[in-house]
């Protein structure tokens, strides 16, 4: 069947000499992978490789068949043209990192329009900003709301947060109970919208520590989650 849908590019992999396998998260179908034949060879056609940069937002016509793992894109158009995400070195590092995280955690072929709307809106917001050093921290925290393990916001005056159970507690109950600067920043971010993110001031060391903590949070709640290879590049760029 032919499906017209919006899509966000999560990854691309060269296949043979001229083909590329692209994985996208789509509004209509969830996670879908495509084989783009001869896309590296031909400059003609409707599926130019330039469209398929990481986290690009596209409008695509899909020839979708339920019994296939790799589908065909009949036509591609840009749904939203970014001004800076792929040209600014710092934003490009964030894009590479978040694309790898999303490609890791979005593994099931199912529609989730609420999640898609969140991704679409957050990326457009990032594209328009000049202050965004903490964007990936808030993005990852808010993302947990859509994949099932957002922190419970009860007992916010407690002195610890239990990463394993996702709850605040008065006393530590296991080795995954955090306190100190990471706890304080977590409490701040829980009540922060992207529009107010510039009010949170932390240094590079604090940013890296919190990021390591939230990646551990993902690992504890998603058994298949792997630390992104692009984390080292992200840390180098921002520190």
Do residues 5 and 74 touch, judged by C-beta distance below 8 A? no
Helix or strand (DSSP H, E) at 91: helix 89-105
Res 173: pLDDT: 93
Between CA 125 and CA 142 the distance in angstroms is: 14
Q: What is the pTM of this model?
A: 0.94
Res 43: pLDDT: 63
**Domains in the chain, CATH or no CATH each:** 2-80 (2.40.50.140), 89-238 (1.20.1440.120)
- List per-block mean pLDDT (blocks of 10 residues) for the chain, which spans 239 residues: 95 90 96 89 71 96 89 94 95 97 88 96 97 96 96 95 97 96 97 94 94 98 94 87
Res 44: pLDDT: 60
Rounded (5°) CA angle 37-38-42: 140
Polymer length of the chain: 239
> Bridge-partner residues for 26, per DSSP?
7, 30
| Edge-first strand listing for the sheet containing 160-162 | 167-169, 160-162, 177-178
Res 159: pLDDT: 96
């Amino acid at each position: 069947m032919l499906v017209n849908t919006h899509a966000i590019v999560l990854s691309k992999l060269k296949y043979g000499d001229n083909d590329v396998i692209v994985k996208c998260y789509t509004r209509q179908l969830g996670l879908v992978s495509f084989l783009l034949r001869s896309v590296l060879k031909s400059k003609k056609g409707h599926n130019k490789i330039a469209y398929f940069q990481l986290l690009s937002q596209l409008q695509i016509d899909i020839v979708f068949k339920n019994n296939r793992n790799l589908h065909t894109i009949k036509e591609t158009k840009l749904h939203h043209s970014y001004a800076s995400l792929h040209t600014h070195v710092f934003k490009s590092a964030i894009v590479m990192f978040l694309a790898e995280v999303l490609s890791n955690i979005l593994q099931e072929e199912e529609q989730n329009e609420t999640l898609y709307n969140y991704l679409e809106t957050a990326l457009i917001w990032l594209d328009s900003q000049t202050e965004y050093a903490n964007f990936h921290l808030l993005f990852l925290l808010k993302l947990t709301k859509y994949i099932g393990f957002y922190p419970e916001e009860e007992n916010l005056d407690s002195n610890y947060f239990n990463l394993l159970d996702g709850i605040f507690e008065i006393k530590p109950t296991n080795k995954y109970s955090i306190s100190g600067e990471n706890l304080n920043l977590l409490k701040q971010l829980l009540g922060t919208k992207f529009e107010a993110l510039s009010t949170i001031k932390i240094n590079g060391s604090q940013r890296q520590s919190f990021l390591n903590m939230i990646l551990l949070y993902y690992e504890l709640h998603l058994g298949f989650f792997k630390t992104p290879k692009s984390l080292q590049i992200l840390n180098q760029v921002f520190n």
